[in-house]
A and B are shown apart, each in its own frame.
Chain A
Amino acid sequence: MRGLLSKVVVLALLLTVTALYLLPLWGALTTSLKTDEEIDLTSPIAWPQRPTAAGYINAFNYLKRALLNSVLITLGGTLGSVGLGAICGYALALYSFRGANLVFLLLAAGIFLPFQAILIPLFQTIRTLRLYDTIGGIVLAHTAYGIPMCAVMFKTFYSEVPKALVRQAVTDGSGPWRFYWKVVFPSTKLATVTILIFQFTSIWNELLFGLVLGGPRSMPATVALNNLVGTLAAQWNIQMAGSLLLTLPVLIVYIFLGRYLVRGYMAGAVTAV
């Protein structure tokens, strides 16, 4: 009896917290489906009397260029940082070379470098490279900034590849590239998926680089959405619809690939050794 009671109490508590957590999202959903008039008259969390997709259509029209920018920036930044990070992590985990420890130390330090600390030199560098207000410039920034985190994560995963396999590959006459593509990469797909999701989410949600390095031609959707606040102050439905549109890709990725993320974090990366 006491066990049941404590279960009920815990469940009630959890439900309350969940409801509180989801309330803003619910408010965003209801508001995004309302007309301007209804927003002024009803409570933000009340379900619309006549739901309309107008907010979404307007938001999409306003954001479509920025959404495309976001897609390109995220794809470029994710592939760049994960690809180069994987190579770094591979070299650090499986091959010993002079200065390896120093490289690792610097990479680890790179993780803890705050965005704000490098903003001004980064801006100057990108401008000198004539990459200001270009997709390429923002991709470059994300790639460079993402490499340390990716490299350290990959190193952790790749360290589980037995050293005997590396020695075997060397005596079999395989170079590091062949060994990577034929053995290491296929055996550690889980690690790659985990880090891909991690980077995808971080870059898609990122605001500061886009704000500083992007201009009218290259601004990502996060920046464009932020600009909505100033330009269309009263049109809550469009802002909310825009927010939800922006959340959608990340949500989809989590729904379909989230289980890999959990498994990747929890378990070893090398399958069936």
Chain B
Amino acid sequence: MASVTVRNLFVSYHRGRTVAVDHVSFSVGDGEFCVLLGPSGCGKTTILQCIAGLIRPGAGEIVIGDKVVTSAEKNIFVRPQDRNIAMVFQEYALYPNLTVRENLAFPLECQGLPRKEIETRVQSVAEMLGITELLNRRPAQLSGGQRQRVALGRALVRQPTVFLLDEPLGNLDAQLRVQVRYELKRIQRQLHATMIYVTHDQTEALTLADQIVLLKNGKIEQKGSPQELYEKPSNLFVASFIGSPPMNLVEGNVMPQEGAMWVDAGVFKVRVEALQLGKSLAPNTKVMLGIRPADISGRPSSPTDLRISATVDLLEPMGDSAVLHALSAGFKITAKWEGSLLRPGEAVTLFVNPSKIHVFTLPDGGNVPKALAGAAGLEGRASL
């Protein structure tokens, strides 16, 4: 396996009028599972195709292992077939006229391996994926999940240095997606494989990735571990993109009152000190406050918790827990609910630990970082 480094990658279409990838840099360590995440049109697939060698970028450099495979500046371009990468597409892209066995053997035949070796490798991959009994079938005779497994097998059989996966679970139904996701992660661990995985599904990203590179409009918004992106989103976009159900966002104004600084969000008021920020907020600054649904609870976790009185709009049961949609002074609040069953119209009191509230400055949406060691015991006060 090998590491992958992307430096200053730039791709544009229509003679520079549409910028698909805008000076993106990141690196993926040996054996790391990296997810390129973002809404459609953010350039994630283009980056993957640049790594694969299917697209020549306008600028930038790509290094696989210790070999420069693409460099616009040094005019280096290694052909896709010479990069020792394997790619899995969302559409499976199985050769329709070949059997599963022939599909798996195809890349090895291209490498000119001896027949014996091809057979051994195909057999062992088929066993690893549990598709031995499908070897003589054609793609048309397989279900979606089986096809995806064969596509994965065709990548595995090559024993490449890097796996590139372009929304490989996109065409599977929900149940199968969870199952194949698990298998993929297991195989990746087992082989200590370097994988770069493209998806727009943040759940997939959070569950699979060692590192997430979150993109928007061809630019990196944030890169880091799933935990980092979830707990320390660098801006409003990251905060609202990561997490399901999405973060509650409410606008507030910073104002001095009773000798202290407060953020008045309408629904509630909170002392700036209680937010435990790493820097102070100037009076009359406009901010966006973000609260994760999981950080809202029906019971207080400490006496300093904010109290929000709300009316139940809808409770969506999810089996072991529920998603609560409630209204408070016209503000829609979403919370992960583990308490008793609630009826629409019922009054409910919600509690939020103010230190868990994310603060973003407006209009740029940048995150105001938290203080490293939180000062405890500062109270907040709900206005309702």
A183 interface neighbour in B89, B97, B140, Cβ under 8 Å: B97
CB-defined interface of B21-59 with A at 8 Å, one 1/0 digit per residue?
000000000000000000000000000010011100000
What's the A-B contact tally at a CB cutoff of 8 Å? 67
Contact B111 A168 (CB under 8 A): no
| Contact A170 B110, CB 8 Å, known A162-B91, A164-B91 | no
List B contacts of A255 (CB < 8 A): none
Contact A173 B98 (CB under 8 A): no
A271 CA to B49 CA in the complex, in Å?
28
Contact A272 B97 (CB under 8 A): yes
A259 within 8 A of B: no
Within 8 A of B (CB), among A161-179: 162, 164-165, 167-168, 170-175, 178
In the complex, residue of chain A having the shortest beta-carbon distance to the beta carbon of B140: A272
- Taking the closest CB of chain A, its distance from the CB of B142, in whole angstroms, is 11
- Taking the closest CB of chain A, its distance from the CB of B155, in whole angstroms, is 9
Q: Decide if the interface of chain A is mainly helix, strand, loop or mixed.
A: helix
Interface centre among A164, A167, A171 (most CB of B within 10 A): A171
In the complex, residue of chain A having the shortest beta-carbon distance to the beta carbon of B83: A171
List A contacts of B87 (CB < 8 A): 167-168, 171
B96 within 8 A of A: yes
A273 CA to B110 CA in the complex, in Å?
22
In the complex, residue of chain A having the shortest beta-carbon distance to the beta carbon of B90: A164
List A contacts of B95 (CB < 8 A): 165, 168, 182-183, 187
List A contacts of B96 (CB < 8 A): 183, 187, 270-273
B107 within 8 A of A: yes
A164 CA to B140 CA in the complex, in Å?
16
| Contact A164 B89, CB 8 Å, known A171-B81, A183-B98 | yes
- Taking the closest CB of chain A, its distance from the CB of B275, in whole angstroms, is 49
Interface centre among B53, B85, B93, B139 (most CB of A within 10 A): B93
A272 interface neighbour in B86, B106, B139, Cβ under 8 Å: B139
Question: How many residues of A are counted as interface, with CB atoms below 8 angstroms from the partner's CB atoms?
Answer: 20
- Taking the closest CB of chain A, its distance from the CB of B69, in whole angstroms, is 13
Contact B80 A170 (CB under 8 A): yes
Contact B93 A272 (CB under 8 A): no
B93 interface neighbour in A168, A173, A182, Cβ under 8 Å: A168
A168 CA to B150 CA in the complex, in Å?
13
List B contacts of A51 (CB < 8 A): none
Contact A174 B91 (CB under 8 A): no
B106 interface neighbour in A182, A270, A271, Cβ under 8 Å: A182
Contact B85 A171 (CB under 8 A): yes
Q: Chain B interface: which size bin?
A: 20 to 34
CB-defined interface of B104-148 with A at 8 Å, one 1/0 digit per residue?
001101110000000000000000000000000011100000000
Q: Decide if the interface of chain B is mainly helix, strand, loop or mixed.
A: mixed
A215 within 8 A of B: no
- Taking the closest CB of chain A, its distance from the CB of B334, in whole angstroms, is 38
A175 CA to B52 CA in the complex, in Å?
16
CB-defined interface of B186-225 with A at 8 Å, one 1/0 digit per residue?
0000000000000000000000000000000000000000
A183 CA to B138 CA in the complex, in Å?
13
In the complex, residue of chain A having the shortest beta-carbon distance to the beta carbon of B164: A171
Contact B97 A171 (CB under 8 A): no
B154 within 8 A of A: yes
- Taking the closest CB of chain A, its distance from the CB of B172, in whole angstroms, is 16
Contact B93 A165 (CB under 8 A): yes
List A contacts of B49 (CB < 8 A): 167
A272 CA to B140 CA in the complex, in Å?
6
Contact B110 A171 (CB under 8 A): no
A186 within 8 A of B: yes
CB-defined interface of A253-273 with B at 8 Å, one 1/0 digit per residue?
000000000000000001111
In the complex, residue of chain A having the shortest beta-carbon distance to the beta carbon of B89: A164
| Contact A182 B98, CB 8 Å, known A162-B91, A170-B81, A172-B154 | yes
- Taking the closest CB of chain A, its distance from the CB of B45, in whole angstroms, is 11
CB-defined interface of B158-192 with A at 8 Å, one 1/0 digit per residue?
10000010000000000000000000000000000
A173 interface neighbour in B89, B97, B107, B140, Cβ under 8 Å: B107
A interface residues, Cβ below 8 angstroms from B: 162, 164-165, 167-168, 170-175, 178, 182-183, 186-187, 270-273
Query: What are 21 A-B pairs with beta-carbon distances under 8 A?
Result: A162-B91, A164-B89, A164-B91, A165-B93, A165-B95, A167-B54, A167-B89, A168-B87, A168-B95, A170-B80, A171-B86, A171-B164, A172-B106, A172-B110, A172-B154, A174-B106, A175-B81, A178-B109, A186-B97, A272-B97, A272-B139
Given contacts A162-B93, A170-B81, A174-B110, list 19 more A-B pairs with CB under 8 A: A167-B87, A167-B89, A168-B87, A168-B93, A170-B54, A171-B53, A171-B54, A171-B85, A171-B87, A172-B81, A172-B110, A173-B81, A174-B81, A178-B110, A182-B106, A186-B97, A187-B97, A271-B96, A272-B97
